[in-house]
């Protein structure tokens, strides 16, 4: 339907298959945000054990909160044309808010907590509020309204938590984030406004898959940054060189497993859509595990370089082996039924990581990096042996 000016209505615009340049610009902020989160994980490994769990819990909370912003933003740009000036303004406003969150993140449980929660609530409520107003004369207004209501409820806990400190703030913010995650999982239902089974309607999954692909590549760069920075300052040595090579192998294995491991039907789809992923309502949670696993792996490799002397710390073992485990679980969950029949290599990679983690507790730290690289390379190679007879499915980025 066209307006008198000849342009399509807000909810009727066609979403492009590929991501726009502005969306890539938006992800630049997340390069900084992921670096801040990686820094928090590294700091968690260096603190006293009495506070390790609470500090790690805070880091997970921030990671999921930042991910909620990105995923909802990517979803918005996959429903409404991101080339429209009004959507671009919404993207830029969210980008500014995300930058503020990333800057305040290290002291969010301290003196900058109020700035963090106010900014977060403004972003999460402001986006669906704007969409509701923009769609007020169209039938689609109910979808962003439901999202706005859920975030308004969670916003109360965010803001009240910002007025407290310590454990009380942690509990209230956890409740707030749990409300948002539950709302997303249930497709944001609300009495009188309905519920869209499986999430939003009119989602361009080709566009959303491209956004996932690009964000995955940005996260993958974190391994290069963390390991490269750790190696470059003291310089190369046999041990540091070994870890650097292991990091390279891990990056290539992650890339190969993520992009090429798809089911037969998805392979045929990708030939026409340019996407290697079959996305659904739950795919956001899968990518959450994938990105979290990459960040843990990046931090673990950096810590191995900085602390090469044995014995290896058990917390470091959990991070460096847990990261690839999260990645494999997340990637496996993206497969459809046909693809999961071919996911045996990923499934077997999990116990292999567990056994290797126990063994490396008695070995020098660099052995953990080598073990992770060897296991992931084995998973990628096994999948290639199965997949090589089918069509190539690596999408153009």
At 16 the pLDDT is: 82
Mean pLDDT throughout 255-275?
55
Are the CB atoms for 154 and 180 separated by under 8 Å?
A: yes
Confidence category of residue 318, pLDDT binned at 50, 70, 90? very high
- Residue 50 CA to its chain's centroid (Å): 28
pLDDT digits (tens, 9 = 90+) for 116-146: 999 999 999 999 999 988 888 777 788 889 9
Q: Write down the pLDDT at residue 396.
A: 39
Weakest mean pLDDT among 177-191, 256-270, 293-307: 256-270
Residues 6+ apart with CB under 8 A from 171: 161
> Rounded to an integer, what distance in angstroms lies between the CA atom of residue 283 and that of residue 331?
10
Statement: residue 65 has pLDDT above 90: yes
Mean pLDDT for 160-188 is: 93
Residue 387: which pLDDT band, with cuts at 50, 70 and 90?
A: low
Q: Are 214 and 24 in contact (CB under 8 A)?
A: yes
Fill in the DSSP letter of residue 10. G
Please give the span between the terminal C-alpha atoms of the chain, in angstroms, as a whole number: 32
d(CA 327, CA 329): 6
Q: Give the C-alpha distances (Å, rounded to integers) separating 71 from 30, 132, 255.
A: 12, 18, 21
As a whole number of angstroms, the distance between CA 81 and CA 102 comes to 27
DSSP H helical segments within the chain, as ranges? Answer: 21-45, 52-79, 85-104, 113-134, 142-163, 166-185, 205-232, 238-260, 264-273, 283-306, 314-333, 337-341, 344-360, 365-387
- What distances in angstroms separate CA 116 from CA 29, 108, 129, 155, 163, one per listed residue? 16, 6, 20, 12, 11
Give the pLDDT band of residue 6 (cuts 50, 70, 90).
very low
Instruction: Please confirm whether the linkage preceding 216 is cis (ω < 30° from 0).
Output: no
Whether 254 has a pLDDT exceeding 80, the answer reads yes
Instruction: Go through 82-112 and write b for each residue having 16 or more CB atoms within 10 A of its CB, e for each that does not.
Output: beeeebbebbeebbebbbbbbbbbeebbeeb
pLDDT of the residue at 1? 38
Tell me, what's the pLDDT at 383?
79
Question: What would the mean pLDDT of 269-298 be, rounded to a whole number?
Answer: 74
- Per-residue pLDDT band for 335 (boundaries 50, 70, 90) equals confident
């Amino acid at each position: 339907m066209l307006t008198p000016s000849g342009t399509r209505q807000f909810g009727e615009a066609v979403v492009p298959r590929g991501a726009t340049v502005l969306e890539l610009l938006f992800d630049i902020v997340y390069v900084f945000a992921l670096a801040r989160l990686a820094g928090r994980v590294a700091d968690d490994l260096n603190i006293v054990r009495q506070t390790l769990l609470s500090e790690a819990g805070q880091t997970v909370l921030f990671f999921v909160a930042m991910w909620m912003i990105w995923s909802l933003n990517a979803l918005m740009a996959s429903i409404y044309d991101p080339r429209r000036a009004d959507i671009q303004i919404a993207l830029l406003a969210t980008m500014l808010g995300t930058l503020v969150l990333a800057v305040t993140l290290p002291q969010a449980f301290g003196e900058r907590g109020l700035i963090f929660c106010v900014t977060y609530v403004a972003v999460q409520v402001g986006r669906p509020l704007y969409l509701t107003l923009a769609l007020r004369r169209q039938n689609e207004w109910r979808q962003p309204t439901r999202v706005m209501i859920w975030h308004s409820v969670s916003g109360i806990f965010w803001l009240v938590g910002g007025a407290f400190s310590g454990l009380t703030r942690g509990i209230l913010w956890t409740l707030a984030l749990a409300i948002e995650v539950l709302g997303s999982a249930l497709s944001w239902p609300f009495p009188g406004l309905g519920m869209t089974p499986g999430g939003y309607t009119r989602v361009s999954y080709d566009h959303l898959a491209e956004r996932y692909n690009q964000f995955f590549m940005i996260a993958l760069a974190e391994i290069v940054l963390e390991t490269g920075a750790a190696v470059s300052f003291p310089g190369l040595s046999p041990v540091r060189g070994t870890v650097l090579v292991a990091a390279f192998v891990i990056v290539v294995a992650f890339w190969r497993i993520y992009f090429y491991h798809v089911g037969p039907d998805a392979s045929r789809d990708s030939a026409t859509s340019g996407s290697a992923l079959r996305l659904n309502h739950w795919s956001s949670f899968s990518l959450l595990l994938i990105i979290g696993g990459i960040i843990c792996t990046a931090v673990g490799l950096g810590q191995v370089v900085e602390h090469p002397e044995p014995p290896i710390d058990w917390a470091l073992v959990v991070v460096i082996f847990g990261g690839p485990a999260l990645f494999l679980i997340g990637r496996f969950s993206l497969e459809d039924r046909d693809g999961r029949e071919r996911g045996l290599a990923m499934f077997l990679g999990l116990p292999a990581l567990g056994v290797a983690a126990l063994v490396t507790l008695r070995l020098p730290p660099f052995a953990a990096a080598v073990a992770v690289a060897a296991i992931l390379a084995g998973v990628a190679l096994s999948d290639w042996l199965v997949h090589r007879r089918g069509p190539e499915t690596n999408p153009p980025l």
